[in-house]
Amino acid sequence: MTTGQPERGKFITLEGGEGAGKTTQIKSLKNWLNDRNIDVLTTREPGGSEGAEQIRDLLVNGDVARWDAMTETLLHFAARRDHVEKVVKPALEAGKWVISDRFADSTMAYQGYGHGLGIDQIQTIYDTILSSFNTDLTIILDLETEVGLSRAISRSGGEDRYERMDIEFHQRLRQGFLEIAKNAPDRCCVVDAAGDADDVFDQIRAVVQDRLKV
């Protein structure tokens, strides 16, 4: 018997350090999925809903030291809760696939590893705010920290509070992303982001075909 409900869509996130190429790759992935008759919503964090975009402004602008690590984490999760409840879940339930430029793995990498808040604190907050909700596939774009930062600076249009943090911070979060992938191999996949955009997309397409059976 059919319930008339569309099949739930898939939730894909792209992650990585500054300038890893997420925005560039999300455009290609959306087009490729659309060509396969898959309806796609693209979104981003911090942001993606009206309230979360307002919180984004507090996070990506201003003095590097304006928040301590816990306050910054709670702001990211407040934005995320609004984004998930108002945008991501309704789209998935309507059968759309959702691709988000960053999600909770960024909090684990940036605040957990980068700022040193630690895995357990971030995981406890995650469980409280999002319960069992998680991604179907997370692609982590891995790139030399210095290369990513120089790419990010070349395209920068303000919103550079994180780019101004020191190089050691960016190196810690790169290692953090690699550890996240190692700890969750069924959900995450690391892609080498050093090549040109077409080369990186070839790898991403292969991962999506393999993991999500497109």
Per the structure block, which two tokens stand in for 212?
A: 């999500």
* Residue 8 binds ligand T5A, judged by CB under 6 A: no
Per the structure block, which two tokens stand in for 56?
A: 């984004």
- Please say which residue, 6 or 31, places its beta carbon nearer to ligand T5A: 31
> Using CB under 6 A, which residues numbered 45 to 84 contact ligand T5A?
45-46, 60, 76
User: Which residue in 11, 162, 169, 177 binds ligand T5A (CB under 6 A)?
Assistant: 162
Q: Are 123 and 107 in contact (CB under 8 A)?
A: no
Which among 207, 192, 197, 72 has a CA at the least distance from the CA of 135?
A: 207
Q: Which residues pair with 44 in a beta bridge?
A: 101
* Residue 102 binds ligand T5A, judged by CB under 6 A: yes
Report which residue's Cβ sits closest to ligand T5A: 162
Strands 40-44 and 137-142: unpaired
> Using CB under 6 A, which residues numbered 9 to 48 contact ligand T5A?
16, 18-24, 45-46
CB of 136 to ligand T5A, least distance (A): 18
CB of 161 to ligand T5A, least distance (A): 7
Cα–Cα distance list, 73 to 40, 99, 164 (Å): 28, 22, 18
Cα–Cα distance list, 83 to 13, 20, 52, 86, 210 (Å): 14, 23, 6, 5, 28
CB of 24 to ligand T5A, least distance (A): 3
- Please say which residue, 136 or 160, places its beta carbon nearer to ligand T5A: 160
Which among 74, 69, 52 has a CA at the least distance from the CA of 125?
A: 74
* Residue 125 binds ligand T5A, judged by CB under 6 A: no
Angstrom distance (rounded) from CA 53 to CA 73: 16
DSSP state of 5: P
* Residue 205 binds ligand T5A, judged by CB under 6 A: no
- Please say which residue, 9 or 114, places its beta carbon nearer to ligand T5A: 114
CB of 138 to ligand T5A, least distance (A): 12
| Omega before residue 46 within 30° of 0, cis | yes
- Please say which residue, 111 or 135, places its beta carbon nearer to ligand T5A: 111
Task: List contacts with ligand T5A (CB under 6 A).
Answer: 16, 18-24, 45-46, 60, 76, 101-102, 106-107, 110-111, 151-152, 154-155, 162, 196-197, 200
